[in-house]
Amino acid sequence: MPFVTTRKILFGDCDPAGIVYTPRISYFVIEAIHEFLSHQLGGEGLRKLFAMGVMPPARALSIEFLAPMAWDDLIRVHVSSGPLGRTSFSFNVEGVGASGESCFRASMTQVCVCSDSKQPVDLPEALRRALSSTTD
For the chain, the average pLDDT equals: 94
**Amino acid 2: pLDDT:** 76
Q: How far apart (Å, rounded) are the C-alpha atoms in residues 112 and 68?
A: 34
Query: How large a percentage of the chain has pLDDT more than 70?
Result: 97
Residues 21, 132: Cα–Cα separation, whole Å: 33
Sketch out the chain's domains with CATH numbers: 3-132 (3.10.129.10)
CA-based R_g, the chain, Å:
16
What's the pTM value of the predicted model, to 2 decimals? 0.92
Q: Is 133 a residue whose pLDDT tops 80?
A: no
Asked if pLDDT for residue 136 goes beyond 60, the answer is: no
| pLDDT-derived band at 135, boundaries 50, 70, 90 | low
